[in-house]
Amino acid sequence: MKTLPVLAGLLSLPVLLASQSNLFIDTSYTAEQMVMDFFDNPLVTPSNITFNGGPVSMAFFEGANTDLGLPAGIVLSSGDVTHLADSVGYFASTAFMTPGDPALTLLGGFQTFDAALLEFDLEVQEDTLDFTYVFGSEEYPEWVGSSFNDVFAFFLSGPGIADTINIAMVPDSPDPVAINTVNFMSNTQYFVDNEVLGSSDIALDGFTTPLPATGVFIPGETYHVKIGVTDVGDGVFDSGVFISVGSLGGSDSLLPPAIFELVVDGNAVSLTNESRYATSWYWNFGDGVTTNERHPDPHVYAEAGLYTVTLITQNYCCSDTFQVEVQVGLVGTEEALVKPFRLQPNPVDDLLHIQLMLTDRFEYALTDLNGRQIGQGELHGSQTLQLGALEPGLYLLSLWNDERVYTEKLWVR
* Domain boundaries for CATH 2.60.40.3080 within the chain: 340-413
Contact 56, 80 (CB under 8 A): yes
When the candidates are 3.40.190.10, 3.50.50.60, 3.40.50.2300, 2.60.40.10, the CATH number that belongs to 255-338 is 2.60.40.10
Sign of CA dihedral 318, 324, 325, 328: negative
- Which residues fall within 8 angstroms of residue 245, CB to CB, at 6 or more apart? 38, 71, 72, 73, 251, 252, 254
CA angle 139–141–143, rounded 5-degree value: 55
Segment 130-172, tens digit of pLDDT = 999 999 988 787 767 666 677 889 999 999 999 999 999 999 9
Name the pTM for this structure: 0.77
Segment 337-360, tens digit of pLDDT = 456 677 878 888 888 888 775 556
pLDDT recorded at residue 196: 86
What CATH code is assigned to 340-413? 2.60.40.3080
pLDDT recorded at residue 332: 46
The string of DSSP codes covering 201-239 is: S---SEEEPPEEEEEE--TT-EEEEEEEEEEESSS-S-E
| Of 266, 287, 269, 270, residue with least CA distance to 330 | 266
pLDDT band at 3; cut points 50, 70, 90: very low
Bridge partners (DSSP) of residue 364 are 377, 399
φ and ψ at residue 149, rounded to 5 degrees: -95, 65
* Domain boundaries for CATH 2.60.40.10 within the chain: 255-338
Alpha-carbon distance of 221 to 125, in angstroms, equals 8
